[in-house]
Amino acid sequence: MSQIASSPPPSLGVNGLRISAGDNVLVPGLSLTIGRGEILGMVGASGSGKTISAFSLARLLPEALTQTGEISLEGERIDLLSEAQMRKVRGGRIGMVFQDPLSSFNPLRTVGSILVESICRHQGLPASQARELAIETLATMRLPGRTASVDAYPHMLSGGQRQRAMIGLALVNQPALIIADEPTTALDPTIQLQILALLRHQASSAACLFITHDIGAASAICDRLAVMNEGVIVEEGPTDQLLSSPVHPFTRELLSHAPGGARFR
């Protein structure tokens, strides 16, 4: 009798994620999946629960918040890991792209030294090889000069260059999951499009959760959209389908306020 091969688990699986601040429930029960090479855009207004949901996946919530529920990465329950084990996951199997790289990078260290430390920690390479990989990664991120960027301090780079460096840091260890939290908010429109195109290309071998309040930016990069309101995903579906035929009133409201309408790919 022939055996039917089972489908591989999604890169990210979330089931019944609940986030609370004391008796105040912020996210009552989030469930979603993201496959390898797929970008899921989580869109919604400020305060809708997008960022705390994303940060909870890497166990980065403030101590005042508590979370329960199942979080699986490539089939492994990472919500059951100890904090020491999670430190090996963050920066390795999970890459983070934050909204403001200037405050996220250590201003007293060069960009390259931060990448080298991450590579040595998660890949076990000697410092010389890690530096070469850091240089190659920053070159792939379209940063100028073979060694100029790796030896630069964060304040020496422009906003767009810092964001490219942040994406490089998130990707350098070939993570299974990339979490990008409002990565283009502080950039001008031209640089925004460049960063989105770069993230779309570089995320082809990982699952990516793209957090944004800008449904136009999401339409330019995401395969699927999940619309969040007050901690609940009210509508989810393929990007083009959801934008062309929104069902939930909140989705229609978001689209009505999108400047110039959503930008389709």
Dmax (CA) of the chain: 64
Residue that wins the pLDDT comparison between 79 and 198: 79
Q: Are 177 and 96 in contact (CB under 8 A)?
A: no
Residue that wins the pLDDT comparison between 11 and 193: 11
Q: What is the mean pLDDT of residues 39-53?
A: 93
235 phi and psi, to 5 degrees?
-160, 140
Distances (CA, A) of 94 to 45, 56, 122, 176, 189: 25, 12, 11, 6, 28
pLDDT tens-digit map of 134-169: 999 999 888 888 788 999 999 999 988 998 999 999
Report the alpha-carbon distance of residue 29 to residue 145 in Å, rounded.
47
Can you give the residue ranges of every domain in the chain?
1-93+177-260, 101-172
CATH homologous superfamily of domain 1-93+177-260? P-loop containing nucleotide triphosphate hydrolases (3.40.50.300)
pLDDT at 263: 43
Q: What is the mean pLDDT of residues 191-219?
A: 87
The one-letter amino acid code at 184 reads T
pLDDT at 188: 82
pLDDT at 217: 86
**pLDDT level of residue 45 (50, 70, 90 thresholds):** confident
pLDDT at 85: 96
CA angle in degrees (0–180, nearest 5) for 68-58-200: 125
Q: Are 234 and 248 in contact (CB under 8 A)?
A: yes
| pLDDT, mean over the chain | 90
The percent of residues above 70 in pLDDT, for the chain, comes to 95
pLDDT at 4: 53
pLDDT at 259: 66
The percent of residues above 90 in pLDDT, for the chain, comes to 69
pLDDT at 187: 78
pLDDT at 264: 37
CA angle in degrees (0–180, nearest 5) for 96-231-33: 55
